Amino acid sequence: MSPFSLTRTLPVDTTSAALRADVADGLTRTSKQLPPKWFYDARGSELFDRITELPEYYPTRAEREILIERAPDIAATTAARTLIELGSGSSEKTRYLLRALPQLHSYVPVDVSDSALRQAGEGLLAEHPTLHVHALVADFQEGLELPDTPGPRLLAFLGSTIGNLLPPERNRFLTAVADLLEPGDALLLGTDLVKDEATLVAAYDDAQGVTAEFNKNVLAVLNRELGADFDPADFDHVAVWDPAQEWIEMRLRARAALTVKFPSMDLAVHFSAGEELRTEVSAKFRQESVRTELAAAGLALRQWWTDREGRFALSLAVPA
């Protein structure tokens, strides 16, 4: 049997239907919003890769530091024979775990992009030719059916992507993860931590303007996929810290009153001058808040690791 297999659980037209639904719902609200997953077409992914290399954007470097230092501890604690990664993308950071898990039998990357999964899978098999890669084209927020692989299993959700979910969404997601885990399995979770406002805002509003370009890329996605007539020059990139919610919001602010048409949806969206479209929430966490949210979902925090500056954390949780 080939060490690489790919299973698609998303219907081919799912992406288009979901985008239309999010536009119909989010852009007709009093407070306009879109989920951040629509940033990530090919151009958006390229821009995000550039963001991770910016001096202001610390999360990727901080998480990599923890993985390099703690991967042996993670391997020893979990003794995982299967590694499942949600939102795997290029699987770049995963390589630190794979190298620390010599007993690993299977790797299950989960992503909405089959091209990203195939590319990453080919690269990993070149480095680990005995590894069984079961790629899964799926949306982890819509429920998962995992392949039959040997345990113990380590489910990794890295990059603080969980911070892009609102609190009720986080609870549903963590509860679904808890339902997937069996005794002996574990969840490895990446969370960005609360810190000073200046550092947080700079990470989402860099001096070179790469994040601004990334934020505006969602407008290009809407134009291409739905025939909208957004002009990105009509909007300013905004990043603000909400201390009450302890999250960063990225927004696009209309420079003047305007109307955007979606002919394919028979929809016209009006913006007043200064009106904002929220494109991302990125929650920041504390150890106790992570412990509380895990417990509410039926998971128990077992290990907590941070980088040397205490900017980012990886936590290991098990079924309670």
Residues contacting residue 43 through CB under 8 Å, at least 6 positions apart: 217, 220
Give dist(CA 180, CA 116) in Å, integer.
Answer: 24
For residue 163, give the nearest of 175, 176, 174 by alpha carbon: 174
Instruction: List, edge to edge, every strand of the sheet that includes 235-242.
Output: 235-242, 247-254, 276-283
Average pLDDT on 14-18 reads: 80
Give dist(CA 267, CA 73) in Å, integer.
Answer: 53
User: pTM of the full predicted structure?
Assistant: 0.92
Please state, for a pLDDT cut of 90, what percent of the chain lies above it. Answer: 74
Q: Residue 70 carries which side chain, given as an amino acid letter?
A: R
Encode pLDDT of 260-279 as tens digits: 999 999 999 999 999 999 99
Antiparallel, parallel or unpaired: β 312-319 and 299-306: antiparallel
Domains, the chain: 1-138+151-227+285-320 (3.40.50.150)
Encode pLDDT of 72-102 as tens digits: 999 999 999 999 999 877 677 888 999 999 8
